[in-house]
Structure 1
Amino acid sequence: MRYVSLQNLPPDAFKRLVGIPPDLFAEQLMVLEQAERAKRKPGRPSPLSLADQLLLTLGYWREYRTLFHLGVAYGVHESTAQRIVTRTEQRLLAAQADRERLAATENLAADTVVVVDASESPIERPKKQGDFYSGKTHAHAKVPTCD
């Protein structure tokens, strides 16, 4: 199942087949395209388009198909399918984390001041050493010697 054959499906049929609506698919595809453009070293091009890579990942998540079956269906090796799924997951998670971080900073008012207290605070220590003392000696303690 390639993306080229799914483009003409009605939105309801697309969602039934893929698991997400076409507009969400387009949004995720845009995230993958941005991540692809931001790569420092392009490397060897993938045998699948980004849309097909996203479809492969969604098939892995939705249908619980093995990577071997997905590889055969998309004409790639099992290990290539694993790399595609891993890379797609990482890119989508990174975009989600960026979106959450941006939303958190937008919620702060422009005149809001955030104060972090990093001062030293006292540590509770036992009042009686005997109750908590394990009996071990420390390396810096003097050891009695026999003469």
Structure 2
Amino acid sequence: MKFWRAKQLTSRKFKRLTGVSRRTFQEMVGLVKAHEKKKKKSGRRPKLIIEDKVLMVIQYWREYRTYYHIGLDFGLSESAVCRIVFKIENILNFVKKV
């Protein structure tokens, strides 16, 4: 499920889907956005918005879904999902430690 559909859910259903409250989700998105602003932008525009990437990682953590199944939902390859999950996890872990 992409973010545009998840944001239409009630707060209770959103937490049931993701395991985190909307506020926690927005804090996670804010941390990733702040980290991305520090980097120079070059190349193609990303296929997914940051909210979708964070939602993807949360689904991976919560449901133990395979990269293949997540990729089917988001229209990405397994390797692209793996790279995104690894990148977002590292950003959130780095911020958590600092």
What range is the shorter-chain TM-score in?
over 0.9
Alpha-carbon deviations, 1:90-138, whole Å to 9, x = none?
100111111xxxxxxxxxxxxxxxxxxxxxxxxxxxxxxxxxxxxxxxx
Q: Which has the larger radius of gyration?
A: 1
Q: TM-score, normalised by structure 2?
A: 0.93
Counterpart position of 1:83: 83
Identify the structure with the greater helix proportion. Answer: 2
Give the distance between the partners of 2:53 and 2:59, measured in 1 at CA: 10
Counterpart position of 1:57: 57
Runs of 4+ in 1 over 4 A off after TM superposition: none
Q: TM-score, normalised by structure 1?
A: 0.64
Provide the identity percentage. 35
Change (3 A) 1:13 1:97: same
Q: Over aligned residue pairs, what C-alpha RMSD do you find?
A: 1.1
Question: Higher relative contact order at CA 8 Å, sep ≥6: structure 1 or structure 2?
Answer: 2
User: What letter matches 1:56 in structure 2?
Assistant: M
Give the distance between the partners of 2:24 and 2:58, measured in 1 at CA: 12
Query: Structure 2: where are the runs of 5+ without partners?
Result: none
Aligned length: 98
| Correspondences of 1:17-96 after superposition (within 5 Å) | 17-96=17-96
